[in-house]
Structure 1
Amino acid sequence: MDINLILALFAGVILLLSLASSVLQRISLPGPVLALASGVLLGPAALGIIRIEDFGLPAGDLLEQTARVTLAVGLAGVALRLPHGYWRRSRRWVISVIALGMVAMFAVATGILWALLGVPFLVALTLGAVITPTDPVVTTPIVTGSLAKEKVPAGVRYDISSESGLNDGLGYLFVLLPVLLLTSPATAARELLTTVLLREVLGAALFGAVLGFVLGKLFVLAKDRGLMEESSYLGFLVPFSLLVLGAGKLLGTDAVLAVFVAAAVFGQVIPQQDENEEDSIEDAVNRFFLLPIFILLGLALPWEEWSALGLGVPVVLLAAVLLRRAVALALLRPFLRRIHDVPQTVFLGWFGPVGVSALFYATLAERMTGNQDIFIYSTLAITLSVIVHGISTAPFSAWLHRREAARSS
């Protein structure tokens, strides 16, 4: 396959989606939905112009590494959207939705999958862990852009962003639990505590915090002394993400979590006015880096394996995706009464899409366990979530806006 054809097709799709991004978002056809559909159209399921094998790498490796890089850039963008003082003011939300919410989502998803999907418990546990985190990439149309700023209160957008960033990194801990039980049951508990929790997760948080603080101070120093031609995140966002991602992995940490923590600390160190000035540039960078993974996923969807699953499997997977979030937020309602009213809680309970983070963890789990069913079920759950959450963005945002307007009138 000619590399120029691949470049032209991918860039052409991104260009067309960017030209009409505002209109498409307002009619509930956000970028991830159409990028996924474009991959299906270009791939062997439709026109057959390009296949995932044409990239010259094993499909699993290509998807895992592309999802990893996409996730890093997306997480940095998410963290940098949060205003100064957010983490101190929102500690009730953060603690509730991470410490309790992730456990509840994990338990609900696993229970539904084990009871109704007919797979072994450890496979259900792995799938439940894969779809537990709220995806920061698929939530982008909900928290950024003209529609989101017009219809969705800032507090709701910030809380979705912070949660999706943190639980994506911490999802590694949940995924490694069943993976270790499948691959090395005799030493799973020890490895989970010493290697995964202490070194990879806590090490990532410490490394990310230190590096984010240092880079933030360097950014401010360079700007104040006139060393930078312009104080733009454009020259910082991508290399910042990839530096932390690569260095974090070399140190043996959960590099995805390290990226988010580093960007969160960086965003609190740099001046707030610079952050506000660069929102449009940051969103443009994110669109350029986030959409290609959905085109790739569209090329790689296992249609033949899906057709053998039967009609009940998509229903079960969609139920697991939707109910794990709704049930968790309902259980957390007593903790959230002072933060969000009922309409906002319903909105937050609906918008817990899975996407790039689930793809990353699915390919990681498949590689470590050798179980292809994890990829088959996970990609179907991702596809269903991207479509359902994508097409519901505009109407659900409009519903919340009407409820907020009625309450304030």
Structure 2
Amino acid sequence: MTGAAVYLILGLSLLLATVLPYLTQRIALSPPMVLVAVGMGVGLLPLADGTSLEPQDHRVLITHVTEFTVLVSLMGVGLAIDRALDLRSWRSWRTWSSVWRLLLVTMPLTILGMAVLGWWVAGLAPAVALLLGAVLAPTDPVLASDVQVGEPLTEDVEEAEEEDEDTPAEDDDIRFSLTAEAGLNDGLAFPFVHLALLLLAGGFTVVDAGSWVGWYVLGKVALGVAVGLAIGWLLGRQAFHARSGTLRLADTGEPLLALAALLASYGAAELVGGYGFLAVFACAMALRASERGHSYQRAMHGAVERLERLMTLLVLLVLGMAMTRGLLEHLDWRGVVVALALVLVVRPLTGYAALAVLGRDDHEEGGLDRGEMAAVAFFGVRGVGSLYYLAYATSHEHVPDEPWLWSTVAFAVIVSVLLHGVTATPAMQRLDARRSRTSTKG
């Protein structure tokens, strides 16, 4: 493909990505669906001949591109969440009840369910089956924009919404639960990816199991969260409360602080051995809490959102191109069963069970009624994060059945993009309308 053709395709695709969110607001069609379809069309063009899109040939590149895409999205969702989490308040922790249930119950059960399916249905070795479960378990902060919270709610927005009574609230418990889950579980999948890699390396003993729990499950999680909170707090103090006006970036309106925070928190956490994904999300949450109602929060979120849109465009275009150029070549009935079981059975069942058993009363903040539980359980979007974890694992260890894994994981992402993309808009509109009727009656 010539350089001129690449520029033309990227320019037209970027234009399409810019207008798609507005064109698809009220129809059962999501921007990721359209971008993947465009990528598939590009892959069929003669211009793309001779371009290798085999994942095995580009593991390192895929790892870094998908890694940065997820990081940008994590910063965006962290800045967008309006619900505060006061670590010293039990009441505040309880308002996040649905999130903790999805993380501590749904995610481990999903990993276990997918690992069993990988071993029993697909005939994978136990370590490879565990890797499959860890790769597919986390929901994705990149492709789930239709079911996530919108822009940060700041004082200027609150005043505008008070004037417009017909504007639906977007910070509801459904969107909040799905957004916070996607922000946190990307980092929490890493311990199980590492466990699979340790098993693949061989010689894993009971002593190693203790080390895995102590370091990969507890130590690296704690370090990632601590580093993220510290950097977010420091940058928040500097941006909003610095004594020098030239250093108070909130007054100047320079939104690139969000990108600086992203890079600093991720780099610092990885240097000390913590999980960088968790650090970025924690940093964003701390930065958001520094001055929650300031309009600068929207400026930072807007800058991150534009970068996220650009990175998502790149990933989805290449994914679509790869689909028509051999990515699904190794997909068989086993992969189809595994992918459909994940989206239609495992995630909905484990999600609903976690939320319904001794669930928080739906009249309290953080509580969900039966319909809302079903929506949260169903809309567990899979996406760029799964591609990242698989690229990371295969670039660090030889993984048997790697071509089949790539085809299966890519197919699961496509199924999620299509199914959740078609159902998200009408489902959320129906739930918003029901919520409006309930609040009117109340």
| TM-score band w.r.t. shorter chain | 0.7 to 0.9
Q: Which amino acid aligns with 1:121?
A: P
- CA gap 1:135/1:308 in 2 versus in 1, 3 angstroms: closer
Tell whether 2:212 aligns with 1:192: yes
Partner of 2:346: 324
Larger Rg: 2
Shift of 1:357: 0.8
Q: CA deviation at 1:247?
A: 3.0
Counterpart Cα distance in 1 of 2:3 and 2:217: 41
Q: Secondary structure of 2:68's match?
A: helix
Could you say which residue in structure 2 is the equivalent of 1:272? 293
CA distance in 2, matches of 1:396, 1:51: 42
Shift of 1:303: 5.5
- 1:127 CA drift (Å): 0.8
1:156 matched residue in structure 2: 174
TM-score normalised by structure 2 residue count: 0.82
Contact 1:21/1:31, CA 8 A, preserved across alignment: yes
1:358 positional shift: 0.6
Describe the superposition over 1:147-189 as per-residue Cα deviations: whole angstroms up to 9, x where unpaired: xx84866222122111110001111112212221112342552
Mapped to 2, the partners of 1:107 and 1:362 lie a distance apart of 17
Q: 1:233 to 1:130 in 2, by over 3 A?
A: farther
- Residue identity matched to 2:140: D
- TM-aligned CA deviation for residue 363 of structure 1: 0.7
The answer for the alignment partner of 2:275 in structure 1 is 254
1:18 is aligned to 2:12: no
Structure 1: runs of 5+ lacking an equivalent: none
1:174 to 177, 192, 215: 192
Aligned residue among 80, 85, 97 for 1:92: 97
Q: Which position in structure 2 is the counterpart of 1:236?
A: 257
- Aligned pairs for 1:273-352 (under 5 A) are 273-274=294-295, 277-278=298-299, 280=302, 282-301=304-323, 304=326, 306-311=328-333, 313-332=335-354, 333-338=356-361, 339-352=367-380
The alpha carbon displacement at 1:226 in A equals: 4.9
Indicate how the Cα distance of structure 1 residues 229 and 204 shifts in structure 2: closer, same or farther if over 3 A, else same: closer
Which residue does 1:216 correspond to in 2? 236
More helix by percentage: 1
Whether contact under 8 Å (2:229, 2:282) holds in the other structure is yes
Percent identity reads 25
In the alignment, the residues of structure 2 paired with residue 199 and residue 144 of structure 1 have an alpha-carbon distance, to the nearest angstrom, of 30
Any conservation in 1 of the 2:62–2:388 contact (CA below 8 Å)? yes
| C-alpha deviation, 1:58, in angstroms | 4.3
- Could you tell me how far apart the structure 2 residues matched to 1:52 and 1:199 are? 42
Number of positions where the alignment pairs a residue of Structure 1 with one of Structure 2? 405
Distance 1:405 1:50, change over 3 A: farther
1:98-148 Cα distance to aligned partner (Å, 9 max, x none): 2222212222222333332332332221111111111011111222559xx
Q: Does 1:71 align with 2:70?
A: yes
For 1:133, give the aligned amino acid.
P
Partners of 2:13 and 2:313 within 8 A in 1:
no
Distance 2:204 2:215 in 1: 15
C-alpha deviation, 1:65, in angstroms: 0.4
Q: CA deviation at 1:249?
A: 2.6
Q: 1:238 to 1:3 in 2, by over 3 A?
A: farther
Aligned partner of residue 392 in structure 1, secondary structure? helix
- Letter in structure 2 aligned against 1:317: A
Instruction: Output one character per residue of 1:200-255: Cα deviation in whole Å (capped at 9) or x when no partner.
Output: 33221221111111111111134973543855473222232122223333333321
Task: Tell me the distance in 2 between the aligned counterparts of 1:290 and 1:14.
Answer: 10
Cα distance in 2, alignment partners of residues 10 and 117 from structure 1:
38
Closer/same/farther in 2, CA of residues 66 and 119 from structure 1, 3 Å limit: same
- Contact 2:150/2:170 (CA < 8 Å) preserved in 1? no
Provide the residue aligned with 1:183 in structure 2. Answer: 201
Label 1:379 to 1:265 Cα distance change in 2 as closer, same or farther (>3 A): same
Whether the 8 Å CA contact 1:200–1:252 is kept in 2: the answer is yes
CA deviation digits over 1:257-310, x for unaligned, max 9?
211111111111133232664355553343233322212222334864634433
**Conserved 8 A contact 1:71-1:137:** yes
Partner residue of 1:379? 410
Write the mapping of 1:390-409 to structure 2, written as runs, cut at 5 A.
390-405=421-436, 407-408=438-439, 409=441
**Contact 1:173 1:196 (8 Å CA) reproduced:** yes
State the SS of the aligned residue for 2:28.
coil
- Cα gap change, 1:310/1:376 in structure 2, threshold over 3 Å: closer, same or farther? closer
Matched residue type, 2:193: V
